[in-house]
Amino acid sequence: MKMAAVLPALRECADGPPCLLVHTGQHYDEAMKEAFFRQLGIPEPDVDLEVGSGTHAVQTAEIMRRFEPVMDRESPCAVLVVGDVNSTVACALTAVKKGVPVLHVEAGLRSFDRTMPEEINRLLTDQLAEMLFTTERLAEENLLREGIAPERIHFTGNVMIDTLRRLLPLAPAPEAGLARLAPAWRGRLEPGRFGVVTLHRPANVDQPLVLERLLRTLLEVSRRLPLLFPVHPRTLARLRATGLEGRLADASILLLPPIGYLEMLGCLRDARLVLTDSGGIQEETTALGIPCITLRENTERPITVEQGTNTVIGSDPERILAVVEETLAHGGKAGRIPELWDGQAARRIAALVSGRFAGGGR
């Protein structure tokens, strides 16, 4: 969702360097890749490293091993990375060791939880980057506290919201978007009459006791409100391995395969509430004004709590159910759109990159 906004903005800058799109293949599920690339309008990558799965160490090392020859061949003037996944830090580390400037989109976000692999990726990438593009004001405070020079930091806004604003008019109503997958749910997917669930964080799905506790809570929520649950491949594997998938068979929970961005956007837009452990969905629900219940102990996106519709709960069943009940009874947490979440973040980034690397090579 980030690159879908940044890439065309960079390519529209006449005085900027030409862009080469590299897909590491870290997110390797073909159904998810095809749906997202097609719907987001992302062109086929110029290079696909096809890394696939592995432990954090294996995956990071393999990305570096396969990305280095691309850099040797192309001699880029800079490497732009987005987000906080293994690909982000692997490509940043490869680039900086070869003396190539790193540009980081979505810099400065912190959960202050070093048990999260993403937190380590964020910390390291920001230390390596020459230009750091932030989504919220608090991110700059984090970076300054970590010794990042202020001239390297640029508050540009949130490119995730660029993509959301561009594609929201195309998002189908859930009943239309999911007609093929859920014909039995016709009439149950009217706006405000269902909730949405996503789970994929290791802290939630890799520990059987935590996963079972969350599923029991979701079953209880589904007695009050039907739930749509697009199941991440990682989560589905854990449900099957622990034998928990069958627990959901007779509940008012619709298990779905991975769905496209547009279908998901339509579901979020029309939901009564959302339960999630995704960082991006915390931002999207804030932009859409939909109450979000985050099933984590912390968030690296505090602006969604301070200004948006997000409430961070953790995995405690009583706390989750209490916030669900409050939301259903009184409408849930209201919020406002944060500063510079205006659909123009990618253009600001592109202008800064073009000014820094005008006339450069790839």
| Residue-level pLDDT at 26 | 72
Name the 3-class secondary structure at 362: coil
pLDDT digits (tens, 9 = 90+) for 257-281: 988 899 999 999 999 999 999 999 9
| Residue-level pLDDT at 28 | 59
Helix (H) or strand (E) holding 137: helix 137-145
| Residue-level pLDDT at 361 | 55
> ∠274-42-108 over CA atoms, to 5°?
60
Catalogue the active-site residues: 200
Q: Return the axis-axis angle of helices 233-242 and 208-222, rounded to nearest 10°.
A: 100
C-alpha span between 163 and 158 (Å, rounded): 9
The answer to whether the CB of 107 falls within 8 A of the CB of 129 is yes
Q: Of 170, 153, 160, 169, whose CA–CA distance to 344 is shortest?
A: 160
| Residue-level pLDDT at 362 | 55
Q: Which domains occur in the chain, in start order?
A: 3-158+341-357 (3.40.50.2000), 173-330 (3.40.50.2000)
C-alpha span between 17 and 357 (Å, rounded): 7
Beta bridge partners of 79: 102
| Residue-level pLDDT at 32 | 62
What are the tokens at 269?
A: 């837009």
Beta bridge partners of 273: 195
Beta bridge partners of 310: 292
C-alpha span between 33 and 42 (Å, rounded): 10
| Residue-level pLDDT at 316 | 95
Name the 3-class secondary structure at 310: strand
The segments of the chain whose pLDDT lies below 50 read none
| Residue-level pLDDT at 134 | 98
| Residue-level pLDDT at 187 | 84
